[in-house]
Amino acid sequence: MPEQKMLTKRIGDINPLSIKDALEKGTYKQLEKALKMNRIDLIDEVEKANLRGRGGAGFPMHIKMMSTAKQESTPKYVVCNADEGEPGNFKDRYLMENDPHIILEGILIAAYATGASKGYFYIRGEYNQAISIMKWAIEEAKENGLLGTGIQGSDFDFDIEIRTGAGSYVVGEEFAMIESIEGKSGRTRVKPPFPTDEGVFGKPTLLNNVETYCNLPFIVDMGGENYSKIGTKTSTGTKLISLSGNVTNPGVYEVPFGTTVREVIEDLGGGVPNEHKIKMVQLGGACGPIIPEFMLDLQIDFERFEEFESKTGAGAIIVMDERQDLFEVLMRIVKFFQHESCGRCTPCREGHVHLEKLVHSFFKGDGNPNELYSLESLARVMHHSSLCGLGQSSPISIISSLSYFRDAFHDRMAFGGGEK
Ligand SMILES: Cc1cc2nc3c(=O)[nH]c(=O)nc-3n(C[C@H](O)[C@H](O)[C@H](O)COP(=O)(O)O)c2cc1C
Ligand code: SF4
Q: Domain containing 55 — which CATH number?
A: 3.40.50.11540
Q: What are the backbone angles phi and psi of residue 251, rounded to the nearest 5°?
A: 160, -170
Residues spanned by the domain of 310: 238-320
The answer to whether residues 312 and 367 belong to one domain is no
pLDDT of 365 higher than 70:
yes
- Atom 20, ligand 1: residue with shortest CA distance: 55
Instruction: Report pLDDT for 307.
Output: 74
Point out the least confidently predicted range of 20-24, 56-60, 75-79, 386-390. 56-60
Contact 393, 352 (CB under 8 A): no
The pTM (predicted TM-score) of the whole model is 0.97
Q: Domain containing 303 — which CATH number?
A: 3.10.20.600
The answer to whether residues 144 and 40 belong to one domain is yes
- Atom 24, ligand 1: residue with shortest CA distance: 53
State the average pLDDT over residues 348-359.
Answer: 98
pLDDT exceeding 90 applies to what percent of the chain?
94
The answer to whether residues 170 and 283 belong to one domain is no
The answer to whether residues 313 and 368 belong to one domain is no
Question: Is 258 within a domain?
Answer: yes
Question: Is 8 within a domain?
Answer: no
Q: Count CB neighbours of 24 within 10 A.
A: 11
pLDDT of 303 higher than 90:
no
The answer to whether residues 195 and 143 belong to one domain is yes
pLDDT tens for residues 232-251? 999 999 999 999 999 999 99
For residue 305, give every residue at least 6 positions away whose Cβ sits within 8 Å of its Cβ, in sequence order, or none: 283, 284, 311, 312, 313
Please report which ligand is nearest the Cα atom of 173: 1
The answer to whether residues 273 and 399 belong to one domain is no
pLDDT of 253 higher than 60:
yes
Please give the C-alpha separations between residue 31 and each of 97, 142, 320, 379, in angstroms, as whole numbers. 21, 15, 42, 46
Question: Is 171 within a domain?
Answer: yes
Please report which ligand is nearest the Cα atom of 211: 1
Please report which ligand is nearest the Cα atom of 188: 2
User: Is any atom of ligand 2 closer than 6 Å to the C-beta of 147?
Assistant: no
Q: Count CB neighbours of 166 within 10 A.
A: 10
Split at pLDDT 50, 70, 90, the class of 162 is very high
Mean pLDDT, the chain, rounded, equals 95
Look at residue 371 and give its three-state secondary structure.
helix
User: Is any atom of ligand 1 closer than 6 Å to the C-beta of 62?
Assistant: no
Number of domains in the chain: 3
- Residue 389 CA: nearest ligand 1 atom is 31
pLDDT exceeding 70 applies to what percent of the chain?
97
- Residue 388 CA: nearest ligand 2 atom is 4
For residue 281, give every residue at least 6 positions away whose Cβ sits within 8 Å of its Cβ, in sequence order, or none: 245, 261, 265, 290, 291, 293, 296, 317, 318, 319, 320
390 CA → ligand 1 middle, Å? 10
Task: Write out the E strands in 7-95.
Answer: 77-82
